[in-house]
Amino acid sequence: MLVYLRLFKESFSFAINALRNNKLRTFLSLLGITIGIFSIIAVLAAVDSLDKSIKDQLSGLDKNTMYLTKYSFGPTEVPRWQRESFPQAEYADYEFIERNVPDIEAIAYVIFGGNENIKYEGNTVSGVNITPVSNGIYDIENLKLSDGRFYNESESNSGSNVMVIGSGTAENLFGNINPIGKTVRAYGRKMTVIGVLKKMGNGLGDSPDEKAFVPANFVRRFQNGGSDGLPGAVIIKPKKSVDMGAFEAVLKQKYRAYRGLKADEPDNFFVNKLSGLTDFVDGIIGFLNGAGWVISGFSLLVGGFGIANIMFVSVRERTNLIGIQKSLGAKNKFILLQFLFEAVILSVLGGLIGIIMVWLISLAANAALDFEFVLSFFNIFLGFGLSTLIGLISGIIPAISASRLDPVEAIRTGM
């Protein structure tokens, strides 16, 4: 056992000395593997961070939540010309479903509006995503308030000129002033701020921090939300105890009857489930991971070939030394481990530098951006393992060729 430990120690020492004596070559080899490990760990960390951000954004939503609208949130076999002829989901549809479909925990009607400017005295925040929606959205999206309140059912039904704003919008518009009770102008009309949402950070689509919510019926007073106007949707959150298949079947049956569709006629609407959206997001994340592996794989391949090439050069340069070592009694194992350690040390050191670079960039990104950049232990372990594996693969053939050199021929070649 002590003999093997001594063998490992001496082989390691020879490898370190060889790397120190060829600093430029060592640096160039490190550069290749560092770029490869940095690329793959950075891509995986970025994708994991995006995935976590999206999942956190959707965590407050029930995956069984349904969006009944003329639009499909995913791929569909219904041709485009047919989809374009579908009628819009209107406020009357929302009222019908609320009255006639059982086992609904929360329901809301939303109008997909555009960006608007919000003004308060001399300040203006441009391009705010104002969402006209009924009060049921508060329970569906599990919104949290840092100050004030959300508009109630009475204010929602009457279309009161009230507004709930995100934390970012509040900060940009009011600064250190308390927004509650302040009068702002939006849509060219006066509105009263009654609530401010808790800060949530970036996520899927527009951040809630930069949004605002107003009653849908307020917007319906002056903007057409009917079949020829702004697109709308009915958002439905079923009760947790309900059978989703049966609930969706009842919903479609009653809504088809309400729209006067015959038994042989296809649906002229879509029921988009949030679970389908999460599956779609998972598919995109998987694709991004795969693309990251492919792109970074080329960098790793280049780094591995670089190390292998350097090791072959190193074997040729030290052929005379190898012959002397073997003539003095050095075993093949000693020569093999000497060059193999050299390749592995190069690769592992390059991998560690790449991981440290990703870690430093993640710290800078977390400090500069409103986004949590995640560098998981798994990714760190993966980077370390990959770099070790690349070193072994890249160094094994040069190391074997060095260990099999005939001592006499090696001394003669090196002279």
Find how far residue 40's CA is from the centre of its chain.
15
68: enclosing H helix or E strand: strand 66-69
Residue with the two structure tokens 């760190």: 380
DSSP per residue, 153-197? HHHHHHT-SEEEE-HHHHHHHHTTS--TT-EEEETTEEEEEEEEE
Q: Are residues 359 and 291 in the same domain?
A: yes
Kindly state whether residues 115 and 48 are assigned to the same domain.
no
Let me know whether 116 and 180 are in one domain: yes
Distance CA 155, CA 134 (A): 9
Buried b (16+ CB within 10 A) or exposed e, 39-54: bbbbbbbbbbbbbebb
The residue out of 223, 238, 253 marking a domain boundary is: 238
DSSP symbols for 247-262: HHHHHHHHHHHHHT--
Q: How far apart are CA 26 and CA 353, in angstroms?
A: 14
Q: Are residues 21 and 106 in the same domain?
A: no
Which pLDDT value is given to residue 384?
A: 75
User: Structural domain tally of the chain?
Assistant: 2
CB 215 within 8 A of CB 156: yes
Judge whether 138 lies within some domain: yes
Tell me, yes or no, if the pTM score tops 0.85.
no
Q: What is the mean pLDDT of residues 83-92?
A: 87
Mean pLDDT score, 356-361: 83
Least confident stretch, 18-22, 92-96, 99-103, 402-406: 18-22
pLDDT score, position 134? 94
Query: What is the pLDDT, as a whole number, of residue 385?
Result: 79
Tell me, yes or no, whether 396 lies in a domain. yes
Average pLDDT estimate for 7-27: 64
Dihedral sign for Cα atoms in the order 68, 69, 72, 74: negative
User: Rounded to whole angstroms, how far apart are CA atoms 126 and 180?
Assistant: 20
pLDDT in tens, 205-218: 456 778 899 999 99
Residue 204's pLDDT band, with cuts at 50, 70 and 90, is very low
Is 121 or 406 the better-scoring residue by pLDDT? 121
Is 256 inside a domain boundary?
A: no
More confident residue, 332 or 8: 332
DSSP 120-161: ETTEEEEEEEEEEB-TTHHHHTT--EEEE----HHHHHHT-S
* CA-based nearest residue to 319, from 245, 253, 404: 404
- Domain of residue 228 covers 102-238
Q: Average pLDDT in the 291-298 region?
A: 71
Using alpha carbons, select from 271, 220, 269, 268 the residue that is nearest to residue 113: 220
Going by their DSSP bridges, the two strands 270-273 and 162-165 should be labelled as: unpaired
Asked whether residue 324 is assigned to any structural domain, the reply reads yes
For 101-112, the three-class secondary structure string (H helix, E strand, C coil) is CCCEEEEEEEEC
Let me know whether 128 and 234 are in one domain.
Answer: yes
Measuring CA to CA, which residue among 70, 386, 371, 62 is closest to residue 242? 62
Residue 324, C-beta contacts closer than 8 angstroms, at least 6 positions apart: 407, 411
Cα 102 from Cα 106, distance rounded (Å)? 11
CB 130 within 8 A of CB 190: no
* 322 and 405, same domain (yes or no): yes
Question: What single-letter amino acid sits at 181?
Answer: G
The reported pLDDT for the residue numbered 12 is 59
Cα–Cα distances in angstroms (integers) from residue 226 to residues 19, 219, 223, 233, 236, in the given order: 74, 12, 9, 11, 19
Q: How far apart are CA 247 and CA 255, in angstroms?
A: 12
Residue 87 lies in a domain: no
Q: Examine the domain organization and report whether 141 and 231 are in the same domain.
A: yes
Q: Same domain for 293 and 402?
A: yes
pLDDT tens-digit series, residues 140-194: 887 889 999 999 999 999 999 999 999 888 988 888 889 999 999 998 899 999 9
Q: Are 221 and 285 part of one and the same domain?
A: no
pLDDT of residue 110: 93
